[in-house]
Structures are given as C-alpha cells and as structure tokens.
Amino acid sequence: MAISLAFMFTSKIKAKMMDLGKINNDDFEGMIFQRCGKERKEVHCGPAFGVDVSVINLPGGLALAMTSDPLSLIPSLGLQESAWLSVHLMANDMGTTGFGPMYAQMVLNLPDYLSRQDFDTYWGFIHQYSAEIGVSITGGHTGKVTGQNSTIAGGGTMVLTAPADKILLSKYAQPEDLIIVTKQCAISSTAILAMSFPQTVINKLGKEAYTHACDLFYQTSSLEEALLATDDQNVLVKAMHDVTEGGVLGAVYEMAVASGNGVILENKKIPVSDTVRQVCSLFELDPRFCVGAGSTVMAVDKLKAKLLIEKLAQHNIQATVIGKFTAKEQGYQLIDQDEILNLPYFATDPYWEAFFNALNKGWK
C-alpha cells in the first residue's frame, strides 16, 4: 500500500512523531483481518500482510484485481506533483499483478481553501496521468470539508480484470528464487524531503545534489518495469512487491512473510546512489528502510534473472540481484561484511520522524 508522503501544519501546531503511516502487522491481524465482513468463496486473495492487491474470481476464468490508497494533495510540492503521486502510487500496486490498471474510483475530500482554479489544475493532471497509463475514471465522490488540513485529500481504488491464472501476487515467491530490486533505495523519500526543504538541502549539500534529488521524483512510478517483466509469453518473474513504507528491506521482509519463505540478502549489493546517501544522511536516515515508491522487489527464477536484468537495462531501468528467498526455517538473514545478521523490520517508517524533526528544527 502507498502513502501520502508529507503533512502540512499551521504555525500553531507543534509537529511530533506519532504512530503514522501504515498500520502495523499485529494491529492488522488483531483488529482487521478477522473482521472483514461476509466470507465469500470467490475471494481468491483478501487483505493480507505484504500483499499489494485483492483478487476476486469471476466467471469464465477471469479475475478482478483491485487496490486502494490515499490521494495526495500537497501544496508544498505542487498540484502536478500531487496528482502524479495520487495516480501512480496506486498504479504501482496494480503493476505487481503483471497487468496494468484499467479503471479507477476517486473520493476527494478537499480542503475548503482550495480554489476552483487550483482544483481544476489538480484534476487536469489526474486525468492526464490516468489516461497515459490506460485508466478510465468511472466514478467516486468530490466535496469540500471544513477544517481539512491533511495532505491526504481522500482515497482511490484502481481495478483491472485479467485471466485468473495469470495474475501475480507477492505471496507466489518460492525458495531459491533470486531477489531483484529495480532502481534503488529511498527514491520517494529522497525526492520528497529535498522538495519539502529546498533551502536546507541546497545550503548543506549544494545545488547539484538538490537538483539530482528532485529529479528522482518522476522515477516514483514502477509500473513500466512491472509490465516489462510480464509482457510476453516468457514471463520473467514469479512474484512482485511494491516498495513503500519500510523501504527495500521492509518490502523484502513483507514479501518473505507473505509467501511463507525465509530470505538471505547481501548488504553490499543493495543499490544506493550518492545523491540518496547524501540526502538521507542529512536527515539521519538509513535509505534501506525508507519509503521507496518507484522500486519493485521481484522474485525471479535464477535461470531468468540475467534475461530480465538485460531487458530492463534496454529501457534504462537499473535492476540488481540482492539475495534470494530460502526455506522459512532459515529465517530472515542479512549478510553484512561477512557477518550474518537478523534482517530488521520496523513497523513505523523512519521517514516520518525525519520529516517532523526537520519541521521542528525550522528547516525550510
């Protein structure tokens, strides 16, 4: 699931770290999973930890896949950028099925200060980005809400139909599958933090680092690489998982849990660029664990990994083997300088605390 990556506060509000972001797995299991309404036999995959979409079996061998996420409206980033996040963070989830989204429902609870002109601009880009990826917006709800100061301006659902036996889920990964991550760690964290605190990043890291960080923003879509991995008869992946909260290492952990596997990763192979490292260091973040929309974790048969990496490279998409899935009994392992460690998992993404700390410091 994706998230809205920033909040705005009035000058009277003291920002502080809270339990923000996605609900943790214990609460999910305890409060939600056991209470999901009527059980229906056609539900092939309902809500589950580490799974990006739900799948409903339909007549004739088809299935319906769907995902829901918040819609972003972040004035500090811009209306166009907010629309991009609103569309593409949902589309990233849908891409993990191996198919592109087809339809969307949008619910907008807009702040009362948003002008008609600004809404027209925002919705124009929602339309544009949806059309570009083949999504038809089929309905929803739109209204203004007094006192609505959050940058989460509602929610959306994307839907597709495809042959039931062709839809991929993150839980389909198997032991000995290689783990490939596309692009690099902390793409969205780095871009959003730089764009939210431009003066500080320029003053401390320089204009070039700031520019490179901002350039990462439009890499936060991972739909292209997901479809490239499944666009012909020789499907090159077994399972995929979108990287959001918890970063690349969190996504690998979630995928291992969802599929009932263990995992072993090599820390030195995890891709982190100099720009990402610089920005994350400034905000005291470990990029391996930071929200990283734009990257995808893929489970790939070892005989197909080289072919997939080469295919993605032809489209200027970096892909790196960082480890493999193992038997569950082997646990979740991370090799770091010849030392085997337990792979950490953090229920709350450290991005949130970094963002609030920067606000409280008065960073601009």
Report, as an integer, the average pLDDT of 244-250.
95
Weakest-pLDDT range from 14-28, 53-67, 221-235: 14-28
Q: What is the predicted pLDDT for the residue at 150? A: 83
Query: Cα(141)–Cα(104) distance, rounded to whole angstroms?
Result: 12
Q: What CA–CA distance (Å, rounded) separates 95 from 160? A: 10
pLDDT at 8: 35
Task: Answer whether residue 166 shows pLDDT above 80.
Answer: yes
Q: Is 245 left (phi over 0), alpha (psi -120 to 50) or beta?
A: beta
pLDDT value, residue 75: 80
Confidence (pLDDT) at 149? 81
List beta partners, residue 141: 107
Instruction: State the pLDDT at residue 25.
Output: 64
Q: If DSSP codes are grouped into helix, strand and coil, which group holds residue 187? A: helix
Output Rg (C-alpha) for the chain, integer angstroms. Answer: 20
Residue 232: predicted pLDDT: 77
The alpha carbon dihedral of 68, 101, 61, 254 has a sign of negative
Residues 255-308 pLDDT 10s: 999 999 999 999 999 999 999 999 999 999 999 999 999 999 999 999 999 999
- Of the two residues 151 and 298, the one the predictor is more confident about is 298
Question: Sheet holding 332-336: strands in order across?
Answer: 239-242, 296-300, 178-182, 319-326, 262-266, 332-336, 339-342
Q: What is the structure's pLDDT at 19?
A: 53
pLDDT value at 183 more than 90: yes
What is the pLDDT at residue 20? 55
- Does residue 2 have a pLDDT over 90? no
Give yes or no for residue 127 having a pLDDT over 60.
yes
pLDDT range class, residue 105, cuts 50, 70, 90:
very high
Q: Over pLDDT 90: what percentage of the chain?
A: 80
Give pLDDT, residue 21: 57
pLDDT band at 18 (very low <50, low <70, confident <90, very high): very low
pLDDT at residue 169, rounded to an integer:
97
pLDDT of residue 313: 98
Instruction: Tell whether the model's pLDDT for residue 156 goes beyond 60.
Output: yes
At 117 the pLDDT is: 96
**Of 327, 24, 45, 315, residue with least CA distance to 168:** 45
Report the pLDDT value the prediction gives residue 363, as an integer from 0 to 100.
95
What is the arithmetic mean of pLDDT over 237-258? 96
Rounded distance, CA 229 to CA 312, Å? 8
Does the pLDDT at position 9 exceed 80? no
Q: Has residue 161 got a pLDDT over 50?
A: yes
Per residue in 299-351, pLDDT (tens digit) is 999 999 999 999 999 999 999 999 999 999 999 999 998 899 999 998 889 99
Q: What pLDDT, on a 0 to 100 scale, did the predictor assign at position 13?
A: 31
Q: Is the pLDDT of residue 11 over 60?
A: no
Identify the bridge partners of residue 111 per DSSP, sorted by sequence position. 145
Average pLDDT of span 238-242 = 97
The CA distance from 112 to 192, in Å, is 25
CA angle 118/122/128 to nearest 5° reads: 145
Least confident segment among 17-26, 212-221, 232-241, 347-356: 17-26
pLDDT in tens, 60-85: 999 999 999 999 998 878 999 999 99
CA distance 247 to 193: 15
Q: In order of start, what are the domains of the chain with their CATH numbers? A: 25-166 (3.30.1330.10), 170-360 (3.90.650.10)
The per-residue pLDDT of the chain, averaged, comes to: 91
Q: Are 161 and 64 in contact (CB under 8 A)?
A: yes
